[in-house]
Chains A and B, each alone.
Chain A
């Protein structure tokens, strides 16, 4: 025969303890019960605990809400033992062995659990009173080993697995779990470990998380596996009381998560020395977790940078490096994106004696602009192939881009067509800076006699992609032998210097005119050199594109 102690926890009111000396205790709301509890969910005569032979039993007395042992409803009568929990209505009765002196915990419920501020615990030696000297030495070694193991380079997953492994070796829990704060601020389980054959699932209550993570306290808790998920499951009958140990994972910058271990109380019940070891291991892990997380973020960024570098190469490969090998013309161009990828574009297409060319600037910067730029280039090539005029090319491009353009992306562009034989130039402008035209630059001795003019924007229409069916005016001029055209994007004229001044149309015109007798390659270099010199190291705000075209006349 074994004695048993009952710890009675009603839904409200104080917790009480009773030894069952008489071998029979009745429970109920009725005043004639041995243990009278004011619990509305209880029946007047709810249940009784009886000793019979060498064991104890609980008998349901036909209670309306039933009687449960460890979450399973009692059908008439069921054997119970120390460690079990009986639920009657809203009242819990915990069965304990009064002879069990190893139990250093006074309470078994959350309200009487131990919470300790971690900051009060750091720097303390592991208390030798917490165990035999051999046990203490083993734990110091565990801590020391862990410190050493995580000193070198280690991935976050490996670090978390190692922490769990050491916790299992030192504390012998049935289950362990690590939660870390995610980018969105929530806590998520990032690692867990369970003994083979251990049942159940560590339920980390919100209350526990709040105590541990928000308040920075370590917790030593006994809780009930009374979760709905457990009821009716034979495999966890006897799960009864769970012993939980939890510590925050925090460093000087704050709490990044929590580590918790769990065991059924009759298998293993954690003590305060276990709590100290857990806190020490968690603290050792904390600093490394932050460092490793930062390193992994950096690695992620490197992958992104690599992707962007690839995108840059792909985009640059869309731009022609080789210009038409024709005696009638010289062409040169450069495009310098402000970021890895950009929205500027230049391109040309030679169809028989017609040279089609485009300089364009998609709104915005970065990946969205680059995608729009790629679409624009494809459209230009498709449409110009069999087009009759620059105006029709730009109108068709606009209609394609404007269709279903909810986000109102747009691209400004100048499209031109030069008849290499006659020098006949037609062009259309969709909201783009007007190209510059230097007349007869190579045939005259003096630069002063060159005439600079903008290919007038009077015929300029709305940028492409905004108004389906928008009309564009085609403008026509004849290029003379030695004339030079300069097409550019507003990244040139709107480049900014240290005094927040714009490079401006005037400075561009001066720089272009001064270089107009040079080869087209040198003209492009000179214009970009002029912008860079002006900016004087100020960060480049926008993509810069320059395309120079010299007409040398029909081949003799």
Chain B
């Protein structure tokens, strides 16, 4: 599990890689929590490096989405490989997120909304 953070045109892009499961979701949750704690309100999560996400991993992004809604921030998910997208879809969570195909599209959409 590696979590890369990039500031791209005033938007923070967080790109975890590897498996997001019970073992690793705690670390991802901590990074996301801290990021929002220090003031990030425009977040993009790039899933292109994620091989697998479990229900524990899904929960982390539900918590993040809820918090961003409460803070009137914006959150866009992007770059989901099919297995990851399927887990979001199966649990019925796709509709809870703004999802874009690529990081570029996500940044563009974030910019358009700003």
Give A residues with C-beta under 8 Å from B.
Answer: 343, 361-366, 407-410, 412, 430-433, 457, 460-463, 466-467, 490, 541-542
The interface on chain B, measured as residues whose beta carbon lies within 8 A of the other chain's beta carbons, has a size of 17
Task: Say how far B37's CB is from chain A's closest CB, in angstroms.
Answer: 16
- Residues of chain B touching chain A, judged by Cβ–Cβ distance below 8 Å, are 21-22, 25, 54-56, 58-59, 62-63, 66, 90-93, 95-96
Residues of A within 8 A of B93 (CB): 431, 462-463, 466
The answer to whether B90 touches A363, judged by C-beta atoms less than 8 angstroms apart, is no
Q: A408, B21: Cβ atoms under 8 Å?
A: no
Cβ of A410 and Cβ of B96 under 8 Å apart?
no
Is the beta-carbon distance between A466 and B96 smaller than 8 angstroms? yes
Report which of A361, A408, A433 forms a contact with B62, defined as CB distance below 8 A.
A408
Q: Are B59 and A467 in contact, with the CB atoms below 8 A?
A: no
Contact (Cβ within 8 A) A366 B22: yes
State A362–B91 Cα separation when bound (angstroms): 11
Contact residues in B for A366 (Cβ distance below 8 Å): 22
What total count of A-B pairs have CB within 8 Å?
58
**Inter-chain contact A463/B92, CB cutoff 8 Å:** yes
What distance in Å separates the Cβ of A189 from its nearest Cβ neighbour in chain B? 34
Among A365, A408, A462, the residue within 8 A (CB) of B92 is A462
- Judge whether B22 and A412 touch: CB under 8 Å: no
A466 to B63, CA, bound (A): 10
Q: Say yes or no: A430 contacts B63, CB within 8 Å.
A: no
- Please state if B95 and A462 are interface contacts (CB–CB under 8 Å): yes
Q: Pick from B55, B59, B63, B96 the residue with the most CB of A within 10 Å.
A: B55
Given A364-B22, A407-B63, CB of A457 within 8 Å of CB of B56: no
What chain A residues lie within 8 Å of B62 (beta carbons)?
408, 410, 466
B91 & A410 in contact (Cβ 8 Å cutoff): yes
Main secondary structure of the interface of A (DSSP, over half): loop
Closest to A457 in B: B90
Seed contacts A365-B56, A462-B93, A541-B21; 18 additional CB < 8 Å A-B pairs: A361-B55, A363-B59, A364-B59, A408-B62, A410-B58, A410-B59, A410-B91, A412-B55, A412-B90, A431-B90, A431-B91, A431-B92, A432-B90, A461-B92, A462-B96, A467-B96, A490-B55, A542-B54
A364 with B55: CB separation less than 8 A: yes
Smallest distance from the beta carbon of B99 to chain A beta carbons, Å? Answer: 15
Q: How far is the CB of A429 from chain B (nearest CB, A)?
A: 9
Residues of B within 8 A of A460 (CB): 90, 92
Quote the shortest CB–CB distance from B71 to chain A (angstroms).
Answer: 14
Which chain B positions have C-beta within 8 A of A463?
91-93
Contacts of B56 in A (CB 8 A): 363-365
In the docked arrangement, what's the CA distance between A541 and B57, Å? Answer: 14
Structural contact, A408 and B59, CB atoms closer than 8 A: yes
Q: Provide 11 A-B residue pairs closer than 8 Å at the C-beta atoms, listed in order of the A residue.
A: A363-B56, A364-B22, A364-B55, A364-B56, A366-B22, A409-B59, A410-B58, A430-B92, A431-B90, A431-B92, A462-B93
Which of chain A's residues have a CB closer than 8 A to the CB of B92? 430-431, 460-463
Q: Give the distance in Å from the alpha carbon of A3 to the alpha carbon of B69 in the complex.
A: 84
Taking the closest CB of chain B, its distance from the CB of A325, in whole angstroms, is 35
Taking a contact as CB atoms closer than 8 A, the residue among B22, B58, B95 that contacts A365 in the complex is B22
What are the residues of chain A within 8 A of B21 when measuring CB–CB? 541
Q: A433–B66 contact, CB under 8 A?
A: no
Complex formed: what's the CA distance from A412 to B21 in Å? Answer: 16
Taking each of A361, A363, A366, A467, which has the highest tally of chain B beta carbons within 10 Å of its own beta carbon?
A363
Residues of chain B contacted by A467 (CB below 8 angstroms): 96
Task: Check B63–A412 contact: CB distance below 8 A.
Answer: no
- Return A247 CB to nearest CB of chain B, in Å: 41
**Cα separation A143 to B82 with both chains bound (whole Å):** 70
- Could you tell me the distance in whole angstroms from the C-beta of A74 to the nearest C-beta in chain B? 57
The 6 closest A-B pairs by CB, nearest first: A462-B92, A431-B91, A363-B55, A408-B62, A431-B92, A364-B56
Docked-complex contact B91 and A412, CB < 8 angstroms: yes
Q: Within the complex, what minimum Cβ distance (angstroms) separates B49 from chain A?
A: 16
CA distance in complex: A141, B22 (Å)? 56
A407: B residues at CB distance < 8 A: 59, 63
B88 (CB) vs chain A CBs: closest residue: A431
Contact A433 B59 (CB under 8 A): no
Please give the distance in Å from A399's CB to the nearest CB on chain B: 15
Is B96's CB under 8 angstroms from A363's CB? no
Residues of B within 8 A of A541 (CB): 21, 54
| Nearest residue, chain B, Cβ from A434 | B90
Bound Cα distance from A412 to B92, whole angstroms: 9
The answer for the CA separation of A490 and B95 in the assembled complex, in Å, is: 21
A462–B90 CB distance below 8 A: no
How far apart sit A430 and B92, CA to CA, in the bound complex (Å)? 7
How far in angstroms is the closest Cβ of chain A from B112?
Answer: 27
Residue with the highest number of chain B CB atoms closer than 10 Å, among A365, A433, A461: A365
- Residues of chain A with a CB closer than 8 A to B95's CB: 462
Cα distance A361–B54 in the bound complex, in angstroms: 12
Residues of B contacting A433 with CB < 8 Å? 90
> A361, A362, A542 — which one has the most chain B CB atoms within 10 A of its CB?
A542
